[in-house]
Amino acid sequence: MSQLAFVFPGQGSQSVGMGRALAETSPAAASVFASADRALGSSISRLAWEGPVERLDLTENAQPALLATSIAVLAALRERWAAGGLEAPRPAFAAGHSMGQYSALVAAGALSLEDGIRLVRERGRLMQASGQGRDGAMAALIGLDDARLPELVAGASVHGVFVVANRNAPGQVVVSGERPAVEAGAELARSLGAKRAIVLPVSVAAHSPLMAEAADGMRAALAGVGFHDPSPPLLANADARPVASAEACRVELVEHLTTGVDWIRIVERMAETGVRTFIEIGPGRVLTGLLKRIVPDAEVIPADDPASADRLLALATVPA
């Protein structure tokens, strides 16, 4: 059997109602949401299920709601395998897109669900507060040749901090930094051949040097949390290097706030090692779409899609 990987989405995949139907049918999923609520001392499950969307989309709410939903999806999947007397498949890697790294760490046993929920709530709060006084922004660029990125960064950086935050798929990039630089970069990207350049409706310059204060805050928060070596290993957001020890997990969660997410390289690295099946574990299908563009010949399965049920069961094995 070809190798498989678990991948976990980040902020932007949230939607009101996510995980509710699952919690109503899966005791394991319901238990995850209950644990998340206890960890925060408030009902993040109700916010995920009922909204309003304006509150759910706040960074400090979206991140714990996404983590709880992703782990609930995984718990329900494991429950289904066990009910069928099947042995769950062992992924070669777990990988998360930005905040999805926390979901991946919980799934890999490196971090408890409760600690993960509390950490992403703090991460969201710190991200919102970081860089105060320096108006941050982000923009999505569609259809720009990667070869033009150095020229884009050089030209936009004249106007302030400007970096490539995410390489999500071929021809799909997100840039981040100070608003004047991002707005100038969007204009420059169009002149360099981008089909679309959209300044996003956010005030947080994620994965840029403007997150330095958030990184310092998370370093302090992480110091008091227990970690274990992850199994399976993760891949670092910035450069796809293996994250295989407890200490490497701490480093990754600090570093990825100020460095970019090279999702293309992460997926290519997994494919190079023999991964041919990717399971997106979490709400929505954002990563499913990206994965199909990066590795068109791979099998990509969104775990929260009821149509995937039979294929997911077929990935498990009968215990010897």
Q: Which of 35, 70, 130, 207 is catalytic?
A: 207
Q: Which of 98, 103, 112, 176 is catalytic?
A: 98
Active site residue 203: no
Please state, in angstroms and rounded to a whole number, the distance separating the CA atoms of residues 43 and 19. Answer: 14
Q: What order of strands is seen across the sheet that includes strand 261-262?
A: 196-199, 136-142, 172-178, 162-169, 261-262
On whether the CB atoms of residues 144 and 188 are closer than 8 A, the answer is no
Sign of the dihedral through C-alpha 52, 58, 64, 66? positive
Reading the block at residue 17, the tokens are 């109602």
Say if residue 52 is preceded by a cis peptide, omega within 30 of 0: yes
Question: Which amino acid, residue 109?
Answer: G
**Residue 63: enclosing H or E segment and its boundaries?**
helix 59-83
Residues in the chain: 320
Distances (CA, A) of 319 to 32, 84, 163, 310: 26, 11, 49, 18
Active site residue 157: no
Please state, in angstroms and rounded to a whole number, the distance separating the CA atoms of residues 132 and 211. Answer: 10
Catalytic residues: 98, 207
